[in-house]
Amino acid sequence: MKREFSLTLDDIEYKISADGNTVIVNGQPFTVGFQGDTVLVNDVPYEIKLEGDKVVVAGIAYKLKVDGLVEEKAPSRAAGVVTPGEGVVTAIMPGKIIRVLVNEGDRVAEGDVICILEAMKMENELKAPKTGTLKALHVRPGQDVERGAVLAEIQ
């Protein structure tokens, strides 16, 4: 799904167009991915943290403003719609589930790895956002998923 918005860092505006893993900034294309808390831009890692109306990149704080970005809702499932919340694990990018480390009914702790998503030749650990019981598991190894797809629900 293509998204277009503007991002202002320290009063400098950037026009952004994002479609999957390709992000175009002021006409210049970049490949973007995630590896844990690290953002990869053209395979170069950056430590990025959001702090209110600021973003910290490699230890340097910038004033941040985003205009025109609308949050997506989770994709619907055949049995109904699942809304992302604190107990929902979603795909951080399009890719393939290569391992599932839990089963429905398992007790999980916050930070436990639920499954491994392979994207852009990298393995990404998708972790439980809270402690609880795995209420539903919506994926299996080998399954392709889209960004934002609901993978698991923790109650």
pLDDT at residue 81 in the model: 43
> Residue 91: what are its φ and ψ, rounded to 5°?
-70, 130
Domain 76-154 sits in CATH at: 2.40.50.100
pLDDT in tens, the chain (155 residues): 678 889 899 999 999 988 878 889 999 999 888 776 688 888 888 888 878 788 888 889 999 888 887 544 434 443 334 444 578 998 888 889 999 999 999 999 999 999 999 887 788 899 999 999 999 999 999 899 888 888 999 99
Enter the pTM of the model: 0.48
**Helical H segments across the chain, by residue range:** none
Q: Distance of CA 70 to CAs 5, 52, 91, Å?
A: 9, 18, 18
Identity (one letter) of the amino acid at 34?
F
What are the beta bridge partners of residue 29? 24
Alpha carbon distances (Å) from 24 to 16, 39, 113, 131, 150: 6, 16, 32, 37, 26
What 3-state class would DSSP assign to 95?
strand
Domain boundaries, the chain: 2-67, 76-154
Q: Which helix (H) or strand (E) holds 152?
A: strand 150-154
Question: Ramachandran region of residue 37, left (φ > 0), alpha (ψ -120 to 50) or beta?
Answer: alpha
The CATH number corresponding to 2-67 among 3.60.20.10, 1.20.1250.20, 3.30.700.30, 3.40.50.1170 equals 3.30.700.30
